[in-house]
Structure 1
Amino acid sequence: MLALFLVTAWMLMLWRVPAVRSDIFVNSYLNLFTGYTLSILALAAIILVLTELLTSQENRWAYIDFRKLHGEIQAPGFFRLPKSADWFSSGRIAALVPAALTVLLKIFSLPGTAVFSFRIGELLMTLVLAGLYAAAMEIFFRYSLITLGKDANVRSGGIMVFCVVFSALSGYYFPMLGGVFGLLIGAVQGTLSARAMLDTRGTFWPWTIHFVQAFVMMAFSVVTA
C-alpha cells in the first residue's frame, strides 16, 4: 500500500516536473502531455516488471491479455442487470460514462473567453498520447493491484476498493480534472475498469474505458490552449 501511495505521488510530481520534456509542438498542452505521458510510461514499465517478479507463475500475465472481450458482468444486485449481461455488448456503453462526465466537467469549467482551435494533426497526436497514457494508468491502478491482490488471495471486493480509491485520489489531485468532480470521475472510471478487468481477465475494456475518457480530457485542453 505504501509503495502504491508513493507511486501515485510520484506520478503527480511528474506532471509538475516531467522526467521527459518536449518542445516539438507549438501547442503548449501537447508538449506537456507528451512529456508527461513518456515519463509515466517509463514508470509503468518498472511497475509492470516488479509486478511480474512479485507474482507467482500461476497469476503472472494473467490479466494482460488484450484479446479477451467477453466476460459476465458481476454487478451489484441493485443494478438489476440481466444474467446474460456481457462486457462484449456493454463495454461500449461503459466507456462513454466517464467520458460523458468529463465533457460536462470541462464544459462548465471553461472560461467565457475560451476559443476553440481544431487542428487535425494535434488531435491525431492527442489520440496517440491518450492511448499510451491509458495503458500506463491501467498498469498502475488496475493491473498491478488486481494481479498482486489475486496472487495474495484477496477477495474481488477488496481489490475493487483499492482500485477505486487510488483512481478517485488520482482524479481528485490530478490538475486536468481535480476537486470533487475529478474524484467522482476517477471513482466511476476506477469502478468500471476494475470490474471489466476482473470479469474478462483481460485489458481491452479497461484500456478502452480509460482511453476514451483520456482523449476527451486531453482534447479539451489542446483545442482551447
Structure 2
Amino acid sequence: MKIAIPIILTVVYTAALLLAGGLSRIIGLEVSGNSFVNRQVTYQVILLLITGVSLLTTYILNRENFLTYFSFGQISIPGNELKVFGIKQGDSWLKTGLSLCVVITGVTVVFMYFQLKKTDVDWSILPNGIFWIVLFSLTNSFGEEMIYRMGLVSPLQGLLTPTKLFLISAVIFGLAHINGMPSGIIGIALAGILGFVLAKSVFETQGFFWAWLIHFLQDLVIIGSLYLMNKTMYG
C-alpha cells in the first residue's frame, strides 16, 4: 500500500486536472477582456488548489522525505549516467541542468515556431501578455512539479528502484498531457520523456530547482505561443 497510495493519488489528481481543463473552457473567471487569459486563470487557480492538497498528502505519506525534497536541493551535485541525453556518470547537475534548459527549450521553440507559422500571428499583442504568460508559466510548472515529481519521488524514495520511480512519473505525466501541445501519442511520448528526466533531477539533487526551471522555460514558450495563437479571443 505504501507504493500504491502515492500512485493512486497522482492519478486522481491527474483526472481532476483533466476535468479542470474542460471546466475552464466553459467557465472562466473574468479578470481580463481576453478569454484565453480568463480560461487560464480559472485553470491555474484549480491547479494550485489541487497542488496544495497534493503537497499535504505527500507530507503525510512521508514527512522526512518531504522535508528533504521540498527545497531547491543540491543544484551542482554529480549525477548518474543517462546516455540517451548525453549525460555522463559524474556530470555535475549544474552542467546537466543548464544543458537541458538549452536543449529542451530549443526543441520546444522550434516546434512552436512551426505551429505559429500556421496562423496569422500579430506579434504586437505579445507585450500586453507578458505578465500573464510569465505568471501562468510559473504556476503551471510549479504545480505540475509538485504533483508529478514531489508527489511520487518523495513518498516512493527507498521503496522502488530509481529507474522504476522515474518511469512511473514519466507514464503518468505523459498521459496527463494527452490534450497538451502537442496532443495525442506524440504529446504523451514527449511529456513522458521530459517527466523521466525531471524525476531523475529531483531524485539526484534532492530538490526541485532544475525540474521547476526546465519546466518553466518550456511552459514559457508554449503558453506564450498559445497566447499569440488565440488572437481572435482578444477584446
Provide TM-score, normalisation by structure 1.
0.88
List aligned pairs for 1:135-174, cutoff 5 A: 135-150=142-157, 153-171=159-177, 173-174=178-179
Flag structure 2 segments of 5+ consecutive residues without an equivalent: 1-6, 231-235
- 1:9 and 2:15 matched: yes
Q: Measure the CA separation in 2 of the matches of 1:72 and 1:94.
A: 15
Instruction: Looking at secondary structure, tell me which structure has more helix per residue.
Output: 2
Q: Distance in 2 between matches of 1:77 and 1:109?
A: 30
Alignment deviations for residues 15-71 of structure 1 (CA, whole Å, 9 cap, x no partner)? 11049832222322222222111110110000100111111x432321111253122
C-alpha spacing 1:143/1:131, structure 2 compared with 1 (3 Å):
same
Alignment of 1:9-158 (within 5 A): 9-18=15-24, 21-55=28-62, 57-76=63-82, 81-110=87-116, 112-117=118-123, 118-150=125-157, 153-158=159-164
- Is the contact made by 1:70 and 1:86 (CA closer than 8 Å) also made in structure 2? yes
SS of 2:67 mapped into structure 1? coil
Q: Tell me, yes or no, if the aligned pair for 2:116 and 2:225 is still in contact at 8 Å.
A: no
* Matched positions, count: 222
Distance (Å, rounded) in 1 between the aligned partners of 2:42 and 2:225: 18
Distance in 2, Cα, partners of 1:175 & 1:76: 26
Unaligned runs of 5+ in 1: none
Superposition deviation, residue 111 in structure 1 = 6.4
What's 1:205 paired with?
A: 210
Alignment identity in percent?
20
Give the root-mean-square deviation of aligned CA atoms.
Answer: 2.3
* Corresponding position of 2:201: 196
Distance change in 2, residues 1:13/1:98 (3 Å): farther
In 2, Cα distance between equivalents of 1:206 and 1:80: 18
Contact 2:81-2:90 at 8 Å conserved across structures: no
In the superposition, the TM-score normalised over structure 2's length comes to 0.85
Q: In 1, distance between residues paired with 2:113 and 2:186?
A: 13
Q: Distance in 1 between matches of 2:29 and 2:81?
A: 42
Q: Is the 8 A contact 1:20 1:38 kept in 2?
A: no
Say if 1:98 and 1:188, in contact at 8 Å, map to a contact too: no
Residue identity matched to 2:10: L
